[in-house]
Amino acid sequence: MVRRTDHKGEPIRGERAINEAEAAIVRRIFTMAAEGASPIAIAKTLNGAKIPGPNGRAWQDTTIRGHAERGTGILRNELYTGVQVWNRMHYIKDPATGKRVSRMNPTTEWVREEVPHLRIIDQDLWDCVQERLAAVRIASGADKIDRAVFHERRRAKHVLTGKVFCGGCGGSFGAVGQDYLSCTAARKQGTCDNRRGIRRSELEILILDALRHQLMQPEHVAEFVAEYTAEYNRLNSERSAALASHKRELESVTRKLDGLIDAIAEGMRAPGLQQKLDALEARKAELTRQIETAGISLPLLHPNLAETYRERVTDLHAALTREDGGTAALEAVRALIERVDVSPPDGDDTRSLPKIVLTGAIAAMVGLALEPGSRASKAARVGAGVSGLFASSVMVVAGTRNHLNLLLNAAL
């Protein structure tokens, strides 16, 4: 944007000028696209040349390709041909989230203004690139756009959807075709060296086997149960002290309320009396809730936790193959997995599997092992607050000693 003032000294806003350094990058992108390079290949080339993308970030293929209907992306930006487009979008507040969301206006309402002094791409190059974009879009199928829009809203169809990450850069492992996963940053941006992928079906077999046989080993579970019991006793001691304090305060608040109500009944009127009455009633309700919640005990863990856990996982594994229980079992198994990290194998052997580390979700793993119908199982499911306290207690214990990580982590 050009910052100037008018004859009155007021700033002139909204004027643009060409940034020659950035214009050179845009011309390079258009030239590569016209020569047949895909947006992914262009992004990799720019990232490999250490050319910063918009806002200094790495180049993404979506930044280059953009959105056809909205006219976004480097290759669809009409400003590069000397046309400024206005009023493409309007914004509304989503009543469910309270966030501002964009909505596209009909193309008949778009406003176009000729700004020939801002053209940096000649018409022949622009037309060539637009023809290539249109050809790719037609070839990909009209329904592909709808699938992309609703991709994030679909129920997970695989055990590891959204759970697999690159052990090199920490980014996501995305799908390539129907049955292959690889590092998205390495594939689309060229910013990661981890180019070893793995078949989804092969990885799922390894992870399900690790859930059954490598996590929650009996010797580690025994020590975990001992640590958990100590944490259980500490929390119960704190809860008992807090419960006694709440009961004493409740008695005091109740006496004050009764006194105020009697005074009002006898005709007493004073400024702020109603506010004080409301405050005491609110405090009484809060204390009553805290006392009721404190009366629910945390679950104790059985020494046979490891054996029960393995039985449950085996049952879930069998249910995954059944038509009647596949969906529920899929979600249950997914809940046991915190993340899976995939790294290149040591050495240059291209035939060896990549290094895989599974991190289990400890609260879900312990919850699965609780006996159905037992007092512990019921207690763990009473109220969101108590369930949250149970989960946090397990996480605290899991972090107390390094060797307890063997409960959670399995290197495959």
Residues 36-71 pLDDT 10s: 888 988 998 999 899 999 888 899 988 999 888 888
Lowest mean pLDDT among 5-14, 166-175, 331-340: 5-14
| Cβ-based neighbours of 329, under 8 Å, separated by 6 or more | 316, 317, 319, 320, 322
Length of the chain measured in residues: 412
- The reported pLDDT for the residue numbered 292 is 80
Q: Of all helices (H) and strands (E), which one includes residue 92? A: strand 89-93
Instruction: Specify the pairing of strand 355-360 against strand 337-343.
Output: antiparallel
| pLDDT recorded at residue 380 | 40
Better-scored residue on pLDDT, 200 or 314? 200
pLDDT at position 296 is: 57
Which tokens is 196 given? 């070893």
Residue 403: pLDDT band (50, 70, 90) is very low
Going by pLDDT thresholds of 50, 70 and 90, the confidence category of residue 243 is: confident
Give domain 14-152's CATH number out of 3.10.20.30, 3.40.50.300, 3.40.718.10, 3.90.1750.20.
3.90.1750.20
pLDDT of residue 405: 46
E strand or H helix at 317, and its extent? Answer: helix 305-319
> Could you give the percent of the chain with pLDDT greater than 90?
14
Q: Is residue 24 scored above 90 in pLDDT?
A: yes
- pLDDT at residue 372 greater than cutoff 90: no
The whole-angstrom separation of Cα 119 and Cα 137 is 26
CA distance 273 to 263: 10
- For strands 83-86 and 111-114, give the pairing: antiparallel
Rounding to the nearest 10 degrees, give the CA dihedral for residues 112, 113, 115, 121.
10
Q: What are phi and psi of 292, to 5 degrees?
A: -65, -40
Q: List all residues 6 or more positions away from 180 whose beta carbon is below 8 Å from its beta carbon.
A: 197, 198, 199, 200
For 220-224, what is the mean pLDDT? 70
User: pTM of the prediction?
Assistant: 0.49
Q: Which of 97-106, 143-152, 195-204, 321-330 has the lowest mean pLDDT?
A: 143-152
**Spatial CA neighbour of 310 closest among 204, 214, 403:** 214
Both tokens assigned to 100 = 């501002």
* 391 close to 363: Cβ distance less than 8 angstroms: yes
State mean pLDDT over 391-403: 46
d(CA 284, CA 6): 66
Q: Where along the chain do its domains lie?
A: 14-152, 156-236+299-412, 237-294
Provide the pLDDT for residue 389: 43
Tokens of 198: 């793995």
Mean pLDDT on 92-103: 77
CB contact at 8 A, 156 and 162: yes
